Structure 1
Amino acid sequence: MKPLLQNLAEMTAHRDHLRLEVSVLSTILQQGRNMQVRALELFNAGRDGETMLRPRSWSHDGQIVTSTFEAVSDPHAITLAQLPELAECIAASARSAERVSAEQHVLWLPVWLGERAQTCLEVTQPRRLSRHQRDVITAVFLVYQNYQSLLDYSERDALTGLLNRKTFDEQFARRGNISAQPLPDAPEQPRDWLAVVDIDHFKLVNDRFGHLYGDEVLILVANRLRSQFRSQDRIFRFGGEEFVVLLRSSTLEQACSAMERLRAAVAAHEFPQVGHITVSVGFAATDSGAPVEILGRADQALYYAKEHGRNRVCHYEELVASGALARKVEHSEVELF
């Protein structure tokens, strides 16, 4: 068993949330012979936005394993209401919850980032945790939560609070080259989509009203983005007036509806002093190609929207199929020798 301080040093050396999570679970797991640990991810699902949770990482035969499923498609997901002690803890913004019975002692420790708990650590042991075990677990958890906050801060845009361009590059690059294609005659399956959102004529806003009002427009558009997409989707600010959305596990119809809702919500909103503004959106499927290619396709669809009236949503694959947009040759399709 490694000394606790060595575990803490290794834990805080990680710059990736999932690796950090695995490290902290491994550290806690060493505090009891018959202990089991899990990291539970909280997310909203369904039209009603019901709070769900699913095991993202857990202990198995003395090792920590992680789920291969996306949150919304994880068959092991349950409603938060099925763990009433934890549900009450989350509702009250409390620090911990417990369930003690003759068979086991369960301790839940929600990881609060601001006013939201997106993760919760669960520690289970056949007997009640000792005072020493609880003190060590609490101390490790506090280090973990503080470090999570630092990681989260470094991944966010200072003005809007959205994820930043650096975070997008790191997260999307992990996907590597994606080559899975849907079967031609198969019913449509949910897919991931990448959308580029750009504020129309934003330079005129800054020139006419000044950068303070321009910044306020960016913040309010970021708020519209948050309200229109789900917790499992990822929203990034690329800098300037450009945003990127990674829409998870949606059909083409759902993706189109989500983008149109965003476009309409921005167009209908009256911005202080500025009045009404619009956004243009280009999006593409992420089924195939390297990240730079997928982003390039969404960009082409965005430029088409800009050149054909703005305040509209354009789908790359649809534009190519209709002949409105010529498909560019991508490096993965070129044989050099």
Structure 2
Amino acid sequence: MLNKKDVAPPSLLNKLVSLTTIRDIELFEFSLLKTLAELLSINQISMYKLDQTNATCWLSTYSIDLIQDDSKRQLSESQEIYTSEITIPEEIKSAQLWMETTRKPYIHYQGDRYLVVYPILAANKIEEMLTFELPHPLTEGEMLIISSLLSITHNFRSLLDESQKDKLTGLLNRQTFEVNIKKISALTVGPDVGQDHDGNILNRRRPKVETEKFCLAIIDIDDFKSINDRFGHIMGDEVLLLLSYVMKQNFRARDLLFRFGGEEFVVIFRAPDKEEAYKALERFRNRIQEYHFPQIETVTISMGATLINELNYLASEIIGRADQALYHAKQNGKNQLHFYENLLENGYVFDKKETSTTDFF
């Protein structure tokens, strides 16, 4: 029997119905935090999303009284949801080790509070961790709520992943690109822009926050047709898999990695300026050049990049600029990185709204 601290089943079912109407993974995760906070009657709950290196993570927090500061940024229409990149705290590392060893949630008594950490699994690996504090031990009803909600949302999220990710590489597919550009634009064009659950831009005023800066790059494997012709399509698929693996290792957990089909990939990542963006992309280009691909040995890539800002946030314009820079790289020796802005300044390309001849959408 549920006591007064627990939630009646109809309330849980209503929350599940609301959650499963969301088709955006990031908004789904944020809504999960808010739903659990409401069901457990707690003031704050966080999600640690682990990076590939397991050294840093993205911390997303829902709180009914969270005060915004310069190190945190608002990512949804709700004023209570914030996220920031941090080094994984030692206690969270300990909790992760405990959960990987015991396959059980981590519960630690701290004075008059209980720290609770629940794992969120992907392919039997801890990908995210939910954390919150309670003034009392978890009741059976509360554990049932958490385990049931996480089990159902895990299955639902798997369905979202299946529809939004490339079957071969596990990266985002091209169908999700425009929705993600709309999400990025909401962060770059300023505080008067919001989004609904489908990623559509809404003109709603939000608390003023500093806009973020992003870079988009198109990545193309040099001479990929020759690789398929010489080594066969199985080895060609192996190259695609290994390149996507290096991408995941090189970029951060919150960066957006896409496979557009064939040998073409796209990455969207946060960068304070063009110089830092160039360093990140050059590091990735060099890692691919130095990586040992079985039988093939050396594979190189060409890249075209552009910055995303308040004057340049339409999907067709952004991809068109990066595509011009990629074309220049391919025509001038391959295994190169070029920024559209540099090429424009030096007269190698011209400023047109839609210059790409590639059909992306």
Cα 1:52–1:89 shift into 2, 3 Å? farther
Cα 1:174–1:30 shift into 2, 3 Å? closer
Mapped partners of 1:99, 1:56: distance in 2: 20
1:323 maps to which residue?
347
Higher mean displacement: 119-128 or 103-112: 119-128
The answer as to whether partners of 1:44 and 1:231 remain within 8 angstroms in 2 is yes
2:81 maps to which residue?
67
1:184-195 to 2 correspondence within 5 Å? Answer: 191-195=213-217
1:12 matched to 2:20: yes
1:81 maps to which residue?
90
Aligned amino acid, residue 276 of structure 2: Q
TM-score by length of 2: 0.76
1:183 maps to which residue?
none
The answer as to whether partners of 1:206 and 1:213 remain within 8 angstroms in 2 is yes
Q: 2:315 aligns with which of 274, 291, 305?
A: 291
Instruction: Kindly state the Cα deviation for residue 66 of structure 1 after the two structures are TM-superposed.
Output: 4.3
Instruction: Kindly state the Cα deviation for residue 30 of structure 1 after the two structures are TM-superposed.
Output: 4.2
Mapped partners of 1:51, 1:93: distance in 2: 23
The answer as to whether partners of 1:176 and 1:291 remain within 8 angstroms in 2 is no
1:40 matched to 2:50: no
Instruction: Kindly state the Cα deviation for residue 84 of structure 1 after the two structures are TM-superposed.
Output: 6.0
Q: Secondary structure at the match of 1:120?
A: strand
1:221 matched to 2:238: no
2:160 maps to which residue?
151
Mapped partners of 2:287, 2:88: distance in 1: 30
2:137 maps to which residue?
128
Cα 1:259–1:30 shift into 2, 3 Å? closer
Q: Secondary structure at the match of 1:272?
A: coil
Mapped partners of 2:115, 2:100: distance in 1: 19
Cα 1:280–1:85 shift into 2, 3 Å? closer
- Structure 2 residue ranges without an equivalent (≥5): 1-7, 67-77, 191-210, 356-361
The answer as to whether partners of 2:220 and 2:263 remain within 8 angstroms in 1 is yes
- Structure 1 residue ranges without an equivalent (≥5): 181-188, 332-337
Q: Secondary structure at the match of 1:175?
A: helix
2:358 maps to which residue?
none
1:206 maps to which residue?
228
1:241-260 to 2 correspondence within 5 Å? Answer: 241-260=263-282
1:309 maps to which residue?
333
Aligned amino acid, residue 80 of structure 1: P
1:163 matched to 2:187: no
Q: 1:99 aligns with which of 108, 121, 139?
A: 108
1:139 matched to 2:148: yes
Mapped partners of 1:296, 1:93: distance in 2: 50
Q: Secondary structure at the match of 1:271?
A: coil
Aligned amino acid, residue 15 of structure 2: N
2:286 maps to which residue?
264
The answer as to whether partners of 2:33 and 2:47 remain within 8 angstroms in 1 is no
**Identical counterparts, % of pairs:** 31
Q: 1:58 aligns with which of 37, 59, 63?
A: 63
